[in-house]
Structure 1
Amino acid sequence: MRNLIPLLPLAALAACTVGPNYEGPKSAGAVAAPAAFVRAGDSSVAAPAVADWWRGLNDAELDSLVERALKDNPSIAVAEARLRQARSALRLDRANGLPNANVQGTYLRAELPNGGLTGGEADGGTTGIDFYNVGFDASWEIDLFGGQKRRVEAARAGVGAAEAQVADAQVSLTAEVASAYVNLRDRQRRLELGRATAETRRRILGLTEQRFRAGTASQLDVERIRGLVVESDAAIVPIDAERDAYLNALAVLVGEAPGTLDAELSAPRPVPLPPARVDVGDPAQLLERRPDVRAAERVLAQRTAQIGLTKAAAMPRISFLGLIGIGGTDPGDLFDLGNLVGIAAPRLQWNALDFGRNAARLGQAEGQRDEAAAQYRAAVLTALRDAEDALSRYAARRATVAAAARSKATADRAAALMQQRYSAGVATLIDTLDAERQRTAAEQSLVQATAAMTADYVALQKALGLGWRA
């Protein structure tokens, strides 16, 4: 029992962990989340489902593209690789706190001058000596001041940050795929309507030329209509290029070469519509859900743990080295227990005179913690602003779509009435075609407004931190 008494002070020291204990972001002056969103409007305050928000758009093609992107996109692979690195680093730091043991075998051949071993006069000859040894050594450093504990704590927080960064990559990717898909369908429909408008104007031009030859229209009328035809044809060109760009973007997002999805997505389809009800939850749920906020919080925890790690590095260190070996000058000595040698060597190490180096490292660690705290506060404010902006834009866009739908209904009625007048012989074909052109233009405006509304819905889901999976 008396042999254990000297170890009691070491046991007491081993229970000491230097450095600040992380008590959450509130200890760093985090911004308090408001009780509700200011611009939630008529959105539901129910908590939204975190994953698979895009299924609310009811488009099977979009569902397939998102799933393929989550599986094969390089940005997800990069984030997952970094997560595996962080998990391996945590396992390594945990293992470093355990004893380190090695088994070794040694053979030594030495040629010594005669007399060199006994101190006599050398006669010019040499004597050969063989030495055989098999040994086992172990070393262990006692975690006196919790430096190893803080190292593991920092590594665990690093894993949490890497997991949140994977989720953040998923949120960004799903929003990017959905946005590109909505824009593709918008451009395809606008191309159809643009070509229809150009064809209508060509028919009007043909009729105007006939009237000019008959002397009932002027050259100015012909040139004015011809200019509108050229304008329609020119408007189609950039839309066509944008359609191709979104096809390429979607191919790359799902991990394929540009052009791979052209055949699959070439057939136009309507722009998907968001659901009638949008669940947004409350700001506190938002901050718990947003991966970038969670990543910033884990980085803050990691930087806090590193302060303790730096403080522990300035404290005394005690390590133990143990060695057991057996051997001699003959291979048979390896099996003779009489040649057993054991060594135990405790070691005390303390860099008591470092001329302020560790104080400088501590100041650096505390500065990094303060930087992480400021970045966390910035992430919280950015998340709240993103959500409020997205809610405001989405509400405004819904009003815009409603107005565009009313305008489209008016243009439809005008075109129908003009067709009736033409059938009754009281309106010209040119007037009828012009009414049809106006109806097509109103439909174009409605398509654009609808696409913009769905794009704002996608942006809202991203701002709410949705689209990631554990």
Structure 2
Amino acid sequence: MYQRILLSFFAGGLAAGCSTVGPDYAGAPAMPLPNSFVRAAGHGTALQASTWWIGLNDPVLVGLVERAFVANPGLAGTQARLRQARAVLHNEHANQSPRGGAKLLYAHARLPSLEDGGADSPQLPSRLDLYNLGFDASWEIDLFGGQRRAVEAAAASAQAAEANLADMQVSLAAEVVQVYVNLRSCQRRQALNQEAIAHQLRMLDLTQRRREAGTATELDLARFQEQLESTRADNGPLVAELESYHNALAVLLGVPPGGLDRELAQPVPVPLPPAAVAVGDPAALLRNRPDIRAAERTLAARTAQIGQADAARFPRLNLMGLIGIGGTHLSDLTHLDDFVALGAPQLSWNFLDFGRNAANLDKAKGARDEAEARYRATVLAALRDTEDALSRFRQRRVTVATLARATQAAGHAAELTRARQRGGTATTMDLLDAERTRINAEQRLALAEAALTNDFVSLHKALGLGWTQ
């Protein structure tokens, strides 16, 4: 019976919440998203792969990215923030429902006697036992939609947290690939440096013998000695650079520095991008870019929070109910037909707040305007990132092609010099000099190839690709 009383009491407030103050979110402000990228000439037409690094055809790299998605501490922290945002949303949904609880009370009191037995009569204390079992409930009626706006804001914030997680995945994948590419490039350059040292040692030895034979001068010997020591000096920074890449990659995968040294000790070629790289619809790509989605969802949350602040300026209606049974004996708890029931609506209005609510409303509006400005800035920054990445990638391809031809020519020249040396028309010194030129060309090409792949990575990062659900 008492359950029906409470249910009917609370059901009477369902029709009360009928208005929602504050602006409704009308979507992100219009931005001039292009139909095509200015710098995309010659890039093709549709690049949408979320796992774009597979196109580099390096199984070791693919495994490293997958491991980073599982073990990276920064990504784990972003996932934890997403869980927090979802918990806040669940809590705001729960705040729309009644609150109820049960209480069981036992009290023992020792009171002075209230009987008047005369001046000579002792005053014996009275003792009282009290047993009570009660159920209470309360419900704030959302008269002006403040709680509904709170749910809207929490939902948008949770979606922004999801987009931030996707943005973290994009950045993490790009960083893992770029560090790996730099590591492989450094291994190649270190090997070429060792090859150059070996050739210069031979040149120095030959010059030493020529000087002893009187066909070379002390100046020639000093010049080759200086070249050798300079090349040897380049090896130290290369070793330090290689170790730093090992350390960085290990930390990205959530292991201590040095944890990947043995696994990646064997040099392999730098992974190169595919011959054709296609770029899809700019507007669609940029709308799906995680940081833009996060900025848009943040704008939606700030818009809803204006309604929250506005609703605080209006009256609040709370419905409260109480049912209790009990008495001075434990057996009174079984008398279900002897209970106390109380229903109490409460209307409160903090109208004399000396401008506090108005200030909070102005603050919410300012936060919303800030979020809109940040959204616009994010879109423009994304456009710039993409155009810059497209330009660098296109120009780097030209550079790599030019250096590849130069390296091929240097290798061909070295082969011709070797043939001439075997035929007696070129000296060993000529051959060693041609080999030095070839090694230098290969070193420049190794740097350019790594830069090309890194520009390929930057292009995908600028387009916001590389995240999964």
TM-score, normalising length: structure 1: 0.95
Give the partner amino acid of 1:21: D
Shift of 1:11: 6.1
Tell me how far 1:297 sits from its aligned partner.
0.6
Moved more, 303-312 or 104-113: 104-113
Q: Secondary structure at the match of 1:426?
A: coil
Q: How many Å apart are 1:47 and its aligned residue?
A: 4.3
SS where residue 102 of structure 1 aligns?
Answer: strand
Q: Deviations over 1:163-202 (max 9, x none)?
A: 0111111001000000000000000000010110111011
Is 1:383 paired with 2:386? no
Q: Which residue of 2 aligns with 1:458?
A: 457
2: CA distance between counterparts of 1:413 and 1:263? Answer: 36
1:17 lines up with 2:16 in the alignment: no
Aligned to 2:46: 46
Within a 5 Å distance, the mapping from 1:106-185 to structure 2 comes to 106-115=105-114, 124-185=123-184
Q: Deviations over 1:310-329 (max 9, x none)?
A: 11111111111110000000
- Quick one: distance in 1 between partners of 2:304 and 2:88? 15
Structure 1 pair 365–242 and aligned structure 2 pair: CA distance change class (3 A): same
Alpha-carbon separation, structure 2, partners of 1:170 and 1:415: 46
Question: Is the CA contact (8 Å cut-off) linking 1:307 and 1:365 kept in structure 2?
Answer: yes
The one-letter amino acid paired with 1:19 is G
Number of equivalent positions: 460
Task: Tell me the amino acid that sits aligned with residue 24 of structure 1.
Answer: G
* Structure 1 residues 215-364: aligned runs within 5 Å: 215-364=214-363
Q: Which amino acid aligns with 2:76?
A: A
Q: Give the drift of 1:10.
A: 6.7
Q: Equivalent residue for 2:192?
A: 193
Aligned amino acid, residue 17 of structure 1:
T
Alpha-carbon distance between aligned partners in 1 of 2:117 and 2:327, rounded to the nearest angstrom:
22
Give the Cα–Cα distance (whole angstroms) in 2 for the partners of residues 14 and 340 of structure 1: 31
Identity of aligned residues (%): 53
Partners in 1 of 2:148 and 2:117 — Cα distance? 54
Name which of structure 1's ranges 370-379 and 439-448 shifts more when overlaid on structure 2: 439-448
Q: CA deviation at 1:91?
A: 0.6
Task: Give the match for residue 430 of structure 1.
Answer: 429
Partner of 2:419: 420
Amino acid at match of 2:39: R
Residue correspondence of structure 1 range 60-99 to structure 2 within 5 A: 60-99=59-98
Query: Equivalent residue of 1:327, what SS?
Result: strand
Q: Is the 8 A contact 1:39 1:392 kept in 2?
A: yes
Q: How far apart are 1:112 and its partner, in Å?
A: 1.1
Residue 35 (structure 2) aligns with: 35
Q: Is the 8 A contact 2:174 2:461 kept in 1?
A: yes
**Distance of 1:8 and 1:119 partners within structure 2:** 55
Please give the secondary structure, in 2, of the residue aligned with 1:273: coil
CA distance in 2, matches of 1:464, 1:273: 19
Which whole-Å deviations, capped at 9, do the CAs of 1:122-160 have from their partners, x for residues lacking one? 953210000100011111111111111100000000100
TM-score (norm 2): 0.95
Contact 1:328 / 1:339 at 8 angstroms: preserved in 2? Answer: no
Aligned-partner SS, 2:466: coil
8 A contact 2:10–2:319 mirrored in 1: no
Write the letter of the residue equivalent to 1:14.
Answer: G
Unpaired runs of 5+ residues, structure 2, are 1-8
- Give how far 1:31 is off: 2.1
Residue matched to 1:3:
none
- Native 8 Å contact 2:56 2:271 kept in 1: yes
Q: CA deviation at 1:7?
A: 11
Say which SS state the counterpart of residue 262 (structure 2) adopts. helix
Deviation at 1:337, TM superposition (A): 2.9
Aligned to 1:444: 443
**Are 1:394 and 2:393 counterparts?**
yes
Contact 2:10 2:139 in 1 (8 A): no
Distance in 1, Cα, partners of 2:262 & 2:54: 23
* Aligned mates of 1:164, 1:276 — CA distance in 2: 31
**Could you tell me which amino acid in structure 2 is paired with residue 276 of structure 1?**
A
Q: Which amino acid aligns with 2:265?
A: S
Q: How far apart are the structure 2 equivalents of 1:193 and 1:42? A: 33
Counterpart residue type for residue 366 of structure 2: G
Deviation at 1:9, TM superposition (A): 11
Measured on the aligned residues, the alpha-carbon RMSD in Å equals: 1.9
Q: What displacement does 1:409 show? A: 1.4
Q: Are the counterparts in 1 of residues 150 and 304 from structure 2 also a CA contact under 8 Å?
A: yes
Q: Which moved more, 1:17-26 or 1:272-281?
A: 272-281
Unaligned runs of 5+ in 1: 1-5
Distance 2:456 2:388 in 1: 12
Distance in 1 (alpha carbons) for counterparts of 2:101 and 2:10? 25
Contact persistence 1:153–1:305 (CA under 8 A)? yes
Deviation at 1:352, TM superposition (A): 1.5
Query: Secondary structure of the residue that 1:196 maps to in structure 2?
Result: helix
Moved more, 118-127 or 15-24: 118-127
Paired position in structure 1 for 2:102? 103
CA deviation profile, 1:12-59 (whole Å, cap 9, x unmatched):
651211000001112xxx42211110000211222422x111001000
Deviation string for 1:317-363 (max 9, x for gaps)? 11111100000000011111343110001100111111111000000
SS of equivalent to 2:142: coil
Partner residue, 2:5: none
Q: Report how far residue 8 of structure 1 moved.
A: 12
Deviations 1:207-238 (A, max 9, x none): 00000001111000000000000011011111
